[in-house]
A and B are shown apart, each in its own frame.
Chain A
Amino acid sequence: MDGFAKSIGGGGPNVPAGSHPAGGSQAAAGGGATQRTQYPYVTGTSVIALKYKDGVIMACDTGASYGSTLRYKSVERIKAVGKHSIIGASGEYSDFQEILRYLDELTLSDHMWDDGNSLGPKEIHNYLTRVMYNRRNKFDPLWNSLVIGGVKKGPKGDEKYLGMVNMIGTHFEENHVATGFGNHLAIPILRAEWHEDMTFEEAVKLVEKCLLVLLYRDRSSINKFQIAKITTEGSTIYPPYSLKTYWGFTHFENPAQGAVGSW
């Protein structure tokens, strides 16, 4: 197998190895076992999600970058899993496709039991945590941060669930999550403005607020977003759309007006 010298220690899923990832052919470092560490090549940027009254809403942009190039502009990074969940991923897109295949196998064999039971979001989250952590232990991680949301009937009625797993196996459950740059730009807004039992319209407005900030301030984000929601009725992934940006501040026009000839 290829042995790349670079170890996993640097950056998360959204940090490509320089602007030319395909040229990363370094000789294997001297000493011992083959290390199957990786660079991420084609990466997706942030995913944000939050619980609202009827279930969970998740959103992300539809772009995938190849290093510093915006290579793919119509990529679906949110998919439905089974009847009760949706999953969103940032990071290496091919690893996300692999995870979707694992989940397909999982849901298929679950369906074949034909026992009237189906896997809920909590179970999917647990399964993915085990997969991610075990891969990390073998120094062969799936370079993703995953967001799993869903609603399933439980002993106390319909239970909404929203959780996150990242490439090293860190996992938790929260009322609102974000991956990548969303951690720094969207989480402060969500912490201040999220509350229990938001309506769908309120939730979409809050999500759009976060997506707009990410569009302005994350260089790998594009102005084409997809929102998905999951409720007891099932999952809906809406068609992509763009947000309106505002560039009309007077201070953006002629910033050097105070001192002609300055820089």
Chain B
Amino acid sequence: MTGSMDLPAKGGFSFDLCRRNNMLEKNGLKLPGFRKTGTTIVGLVFQDGVVLGADTRATEGPIVADKNCEKIHFMAPNIYCCGAGTAADTEAVTDMVSSQLQLHRYATGRESRVVTALTLLKSHLFRYQGHVSAALVLGGVDCTGPHLHTVYPHGSTDTLPFATMGSGSLAAMSVFESKYKEGLTREEGIQLVSDAICAGIFNDLGSGSNVDVCVITKGKTEYLRNHQLPNPRTYASSKGYSFTKGQTEVLSTKITPLKQKVEVTEGGDAMEE
């Protein structure tokens, strides 16, 4: 049977360009900054499966780059992965492993296992010695049961009943440590995850906007995008900013038709190759 995955490139991370990059930096080149997700991501195991949660703010230094981004990535129909760290790194690495899992499913004819995704991720990240800045919370339910793991940028992993990552991880972890118990029901699990993400949203500057939740049980996955919107847009007036016609007084009107500068000829040839 042919291998369904590429063989890893010989030799690990290629440091060829490092000397050239250092020389450029010394000559005054300002390297582009990374867009970090400055995040709160959490996961917990409840009685029937796994609940994952994430906030939706992506930051570029002090600026909010994306108010409503998606941090819960698809890996397999029964496995999802939350990502913190550099947005490009988390997207790329989860996409890559997701397609590897798909090929593996075709080759084996079986549902993907969480440990497969885990091993693929950690091997890749270790090879890149922490330069791929992706901190992940991986959760899913497979034939061996529910699993929840954290993956760190250098490639180490943990298997935990509840986990948090990102800049808001301490705020979320304080909620988990004080309220988590085994055998939670689905509603309790979703509520606890939402509480933890809200703690991150309101107490950490790098996290904000809305709460995304993903509930994975045997045979069923529910992706609750924007499960809570605790930061609605508010307006000074209760009617919001709707301006009806006639609210602004028109003093004078002048209409200037634009001269046609382009001649449109009908029946031209279709665009050439």
Contacts and interface: CB of A to CB of B under 8 A. Distances in A.
Contact of A191 (B115, B119, B160, B202): B202
Q: In which size bucket is the chain B interface?
A: 20 to 34
Q: What does DSSP make chain A's interface, helix, strand, loop or mixed?
A: helix
A252 B160 CA distance: 7
Interface in B146-197: 147-148, 157-161, 170-171, 173-175, 177-178, 182, 195
Interface string A196-213: 000000000000011011
B145 A258 contact: yes
Q: In which size bucket is the chain A interface?
A: 20 to 34
A261 B21 CA distance: 40
Nearest to B160: A251
Contacts, number: 70
A185 B161 contact: no
Given A258-B144, A258-B145, A258-B147, A188 B199 contact: yes
Given A188-B203, A262-B115, A262-B119, A251 B159 contact: yes
Given A188-B199, A188-B203, A258-B145, A217 B159 contact: no
B82 interface: no
Interface string A243-262: 00000011110011011001
B192 to A, nearest CB: 12
B45 interface: yes
Given A251-B45, A262-B115, A212 B161 contact: no
Interface string B104-133: 000000000111001100000000000000
Contacts of B115: 258-259, 262
Interface string A223-263: 00000000000000000000000000111100110110011
B52 to A, nearest CB: 15
Contact of A209 (B114, B147, B178, B202): B178
B110 to A, nearest CB: 15
A49 interface: no
A126 B114 CA distance: 57
B182 A249 contact: yes
Nearest to B171: A188
Nearest to A208: B178
A255 B170 CA distance: 23
Contact of B161 (A213, A249, A258, A259): A249
A213 B174 contact: yes
Given A188-B202, A209-B178, A250-B182, 20 more contacts: A185-B170, A185-B174, A189-B174, A189-B178, A191-B203, A210-B174, A210-B178, A212-B177, A212-B178, A213-B174, A217-B173, A250-B161, A251-B45, A251-B159, A251-B161, A255-B159, A258-B147, A259-B115, A259-B118, A262-B115
Interface of A: 184-189, 191-192, 209-210, 212-213, 216-217, 249-252, 255-256, 258-259, 262-263
Interface of B: 45, 113-115, 118-119, 144-145, 147-148, 157-161, 170-171, 173-175, 177-178, 182, 195, 199, 202-203
16 contacts: A185-B171, A185-B174, A188-B170, A188-B199, A189-B175, A191-B202, A210-B178, A213-B177, A216-B177, A217-B177, A249-B182, A251-B148, A251-B160, A258-B114, A258-B145, A259-B119
